[in-house]
Amino acid sequence: MKAVRCLAVLFAIALALCAPLSVRACPLCADAIANSNSANDADDVDQFPAAMNQSIYLMLGVPYTAFGVVGLMVYYGVRKNEEYRREQAGLNSALLRAHG
């Protein structure tokens, strides 16, 4: 079973390395660069991959940041709730000792 898996991985790597350049490019990048028709085609072609990378990083970073902020708020809320429960337990035991 491991031999079959190893052969499949090697085949996939070989297929990816032997593919022509147009197959390896993402469709959006390849179409946008080929269809650019502005006066500054060279500038557009040079800046487009960098712009795509920045937008991808933004799309990946925003959800992680949002989940991190929400997680931090939950953590602080749980910690504050634990402190409140400890205070209440201390007050309740003090009241029981005073009246009991």
Q: List pLDDT tens digits, range 35-53.
A: 555 555 566 667 777 788 8
- Look at residue 71 in the predicted model and tell me its pLDDT: 95
Q: In the chain, what percentage of residues exceed pLDDT 70?
A: 70
pLDDT class of 72 with cuts at 50, 70, 90: very high
For residue 83, give Cα distances in angstroms to 9, 56, 76, 77: 53, 41, 11, 10
d(CA 83, CA 89): 10
**Displacement of CA 98 from its chain's centroid (Å):** 55
The predicted structure's pLDDT at residue 18: 76
- Predicted TM-score (pTM) of the model is 0.46
